[in-house]
Amino acid sequence: LQQFMHSPAHLPDCPPVQDRVLYRCRKPGSATVTAYNSVPELRCSDHRAVYAVISLQIRPGSDNLPLAYGRFRHTFYVEGNKRRARRNDLDEIRRKSNRASSGVCSLM
């Protein structure tokens, strides 16, 4: 079992902001921290790696804006959908062929 021990004499003076998650809201109370913890496996100094899970209240978007604010090229969108469909079809064909050629191997 290893314990992390440090001597303040060997480390530079740093503010302890590295052990915090900073966030800011326009409206007070629109964010709630639901989890905050450290990751003990990640240790490089006397500071700890931390994470936070924050629940946010967001405003609904509006649907009346044009996609990409008028910089949308429909031909690129159509071509991307075609390529995505072809790739999905190829993935499905590969999955079916792998199922047909797979077998069970047992070692005794």
Per-residue pLDDT band for 13 (boundaries 50, 70, 90) equals low
Distance CA 56, CA 103 (A): 49
56 in Cβ contact with 31 (< 8 Å): yes
Residue 56 in tokens: 């946010």
Tell me the domain boundaries of the chain. 15-56+72-99
Distance CA 30, CA 33 (A): 10
Q: Is the pTM of this model over 0.85?
A: no
Per-residue pLDDT band for 1 (boundaries 50, 70, 90) equals very low
Per-residue pLDDT band for 14 (boundaries 50, 70, 90) equals low
Q: Which amino acid is at 34?
A: T
Name the one residue in this structure whose structure tokens are 């006397």. Answer: 46
Q: What is the pLDDT of residues 30-88, one digit of tens each?
A: 899 999 988 888 777 677 788 899 998 887 766 666 565 556 677 888 888 888 888 88
33 in Cβ contact with 22 (< 8 Å): no
| Mean pLDDT (whole number) for 4-31 | 68
